Structure 1
């Protein structure tokens, strides 16, 4: 096989829509009969995934791989930064933790990771027809350009043509695109093969004068005006509109605690598809109200987020509801919080040696260490209301939890997983709702508790739902983007 062609999507800012446009291109190329794979040299996100070989990568590239119809591979995201504070992150290289670094330290040393980036990219290029590369933030961050390994710096390393995307929904898109182009060096400008205006609402004819002036001033063609597409696809954690959901407006009310270091909120996306189950995120006790279910999600910093729960009054409100019988489900870090104690003997989780009182709702004790468990798993739920539900998910956590109560599930290879006490459930399994069996069992149980008939609720399997959404996304982008120009930029003819 000849070496893969590539196209790179860069943006004028974070949230311009790079991730979804890359997913759309992956889907389009796959529909055109090409083996497409995504690539992002460095991702910063708390949403991560464990591959089949037990390695950790950012979920944005997992979504793009799913859109392309290929198995997620850690080579698609060789560097993952998981923020653990305002000034530091856990640095993950080739799926393995390298350690904690302050931003200044990482900035000084990140060029040393170029060989890892190129090895991953070159390996993919030997197996694929097309690589769809995603940039990060903006290529015009002039204070960061000297050490860039994710935008124009990467484009030069792999000789990638670039599409530059601006978000018109936020306003100022012409200034975004023109200003970004002007701040680039001439050799960088030559890499840009087209400008894309994203998230447009309305009549595109109204834009024509502006498009003509933009092309005149930048000397670059506008190759697409992509409409604001109503698709339901996983998004990056820091800017997700999902986290602003406040009112489910359905018969059943599920409240997810929006922890400060919330991670893998995508675990709960399948619940949103259930016709009877409303999902909302809450940040304080007033917003919590009296839901039918409380969900305590994963977090990159379990100890700090437990202290936040305690300080903001959510712990007291949650415990009062649990005492009255309101079901509580904790996932990963949320599961750890539900226990009796959280012990950090070396300071690996919280930065200092301490033992913390948990919420006391489960008979468990968690001891943190540097070692991280990463594994894809299959399990069968043992908890009485949902017994028999088949799960396929993954674990990604530090800390070992000893449980004295009933297990939440049993691994397919044997052994207990999680813990249950009364109406309180804890599990380490991310992706636990993806198969749909637990979603249906949970919704049915909540319906019966509330006197609602669950029989009319038709649930689309999550895998099928994702395929539908990818096709809607691809159709919308294909109709708006000059795909002939995209293929030409890669040195290919449109299929």
Structure 2
């Protein structure tokens, strides 16, 4: 039977995910078999396990930090928002149904057996399970039938560390106020306080720490400095998505990439490898004034393709994309972005938001949604035919012929490339597209038409050969050279960052206190 520890926060984005990952890494370095757990996660960044199940990306990141294979038991309930008031509910990696928030609030206690079965699987396999909460345990309107904060702590009898975010101000009020709104039994579960994202001289903070301990009668377990870590972010609260400005002219930027910041953007971790490559500047753009003159345009995934297509049109960014493509600037769509680049999107059954809409029209593709969700790990060969033969892609993609890539797919729609003979004047097809790749099972993926392409493969930029040749091709268009050593191995980069995180936790937290709280 595993020991456990729960990390809760005073608010969303207080740093629970990072603190959890850091403690897991410390325990792993000290020889313990450890695993993360989050009973319910709400995020649009997800991942497909080797068994074909969908789980939150934050628990994947934490599993990597723990040195273990991501398993759907680490995140049995995943909520993927489809609108401001509803989400797709995924249970044990498989979609259950779309629910409005009010319906899910009444339904969620029925999921406790699924949560406990998942936890018990980890309980039997590991020495320590580090549990992450969600939002704040002091949301008094949500405390009834809670399954993710103190309700979860009670189910598995877990001690709690409470994390506050000093960077946004009022950290003492955050911590004290949260504790005051808890019931006596819940207060007793909190064994230590953590102040996160601290900037400045800790000596100035120390008198406040003494008063905090006197008021709460709970020791401070650590003050963690503000620190940039190049690891996967949990959701759209990520600070990296605020980077929409053009790069500073003093920077040595070889490739400027504009990623469209869709309202329901998902799996933006697809682009972390691009951001980590030397000489590459990635901007997340949600306004025409910030589009600039990029060398490469990417339309990312989304959990509301038709809704975000409407937004893209209304915002004026669709015209920016069309103008870029007309001047042979490469444009790429991933998953929902690929669907948007097509001629037409149909969601008659309301799989996402329902309805039909004309796409951007840069690829001769139509997409129809269905209730069946496609979720699998995948391997593919770029610019191959269904018979295994290579074909010469045009434009920027010609240097990618024959490259093998791996990744994963998560999508509800099926996209079909239209033959030019099917042009009845409605779609206005001007040329015939070819598949972007062929999967290991022989099925075709995506579409290429000149310098525009789309694919369903998430994680494609994590493939070093693909990334390097793509960046080289972009630079060749500009008449400059991109060197191979500018691309950093994704795995090596992550391992380095997890060790860096562990060092930060060891230096700034009372690890002896943490170990005693866990019972080690």
* 1:64, distance to aligned residue in structure 2 (A): 0.2
CA contact (8 A) 1:274 1:457 kept: no
**Pair 1:384 & 2:385 matched:** no
* 1:105, distance to aligned residue in structure 2 (A): 0.8
**Matching residue within 242, 255, 258 for 1:255:** 258
Q: Deviations over 1:358-409 (max 9, x none)?
A: 1111111111111100000111212423223331110000011112421211
CA distance in 2, matches of 1:457, 1:289: 28
CA distance in 2, matches of 1:350, 1:102: 12
Match of 2:9 in 1: 11
Give the stretch that moved more between structures: 385-394 or 38-47.
385-394
CA distance in 2, matches of 1:126, 1:316: 55
Match of 2:411 in 1: 397
CA distance in 1, matches of 2:222, 2:489: 33
CA distance in 1, matches of 2:184, 2:463: 50
**Matching residue within 62, 70, 74 for 1:76:** 74
CA distance in 1, matches of 2:363, 2:51: 32
CA contact (8 A) 2:6 2:161 kept: yes
Match of 2:426 in 1: none
Match of 1:347 in 2: 350
Aligned length: 488
**Pair 1:444 & 2:472 matched:** yes
**Pair 1:305 & 2:303 matched:** no
SS of 2:148 mapped into structure 1: coil
Match of 2:139 in 1: 141
Q: Deviations over 1:438-462 (max 9, x none)?
A: 2111110011000111136432111
CA distance in 1, matches of 2:352, 2:189: 43
**Matching residue within 425, 430, 453 for 1:425:** 453
**Pair 1:274 & 2:277 matched:** yes
Q: Deviations over 1:40-97 (max 9, x none)?
A: 0000001011111111110000000011111110000000001111111111111111
**Matching residue within 90, 101, 104 for 2:102:** 104
* 1:140, distance to aligned residue in structure 2 (A): 0.7
* 1:106, distance to aligned residue in structure 2 (A): 0.6
CA contact (8 A) 2:332 2:452 kept: yes
SS of 2:14 mapped into structure 1: coil
Match of 2:489 in 1: 461
Give the stretch that moved more between structures: 378-387 or 33-42.
378-387
CA contact (8 A) 2:334 2:455 kept: yes
Match of 2:294 in 1: 291
Q: Deviations over 1:268-293 (max 9, x none)?
A: 01001111211101112221122111
CA distance in 1, matches of 2:483, 2:80: 42
Match of 2:369 in 1: 368
CA contact (8 A) 2:4 2:131 kept: yes
Which contiguous aligned blocks of 4+ residues in structure 1 show a shift greater than 4 angstroms? none
CA distance in 2, matches of 1:101, 1:93: 13
CA distance in 1, matches of 2:332, 2:96: 32
**Pair 1:183 & 2:181 matched:** yes
Give the stretch that moved more between structures: 55-64 or 313-322.
313-322
CA distance in 1, matches of 2:516, 2:373: 45
SS of 2:487 mapped into structure 1: coil
CA distance in 2, matches of 1:82, 1:289: 31
Q: Deviations over 1:414-467 (max 9, x none)?
A: 232111000001000000011222211111001100011113643211111011
Match of 2:428 in 1: none
CA distance in 1, matches of 2:485, 2:295: 17
CA distance in 2, matches of 1:457, 1:310: 39
Match of 2:510 in 1: 482
Unpaired runs of 5+ in structure 1? Answer: none
CA contact (8 A) 1:276 1:443 kept: no
**Pair 1:202 & 2:230 matched:** no
RMSD: 1.1
**Matching residue within 152, 159, 169 for 1:171:** 169
* 1:101, distance to aligned residue in structure 2 (A): 0.7
CA contact (8 A) 1:349 1:369 kept: no
Q: Deviations over 1:223-273 (max 9, x none)?
A: 111111221111122210110112344121100000010000010010011
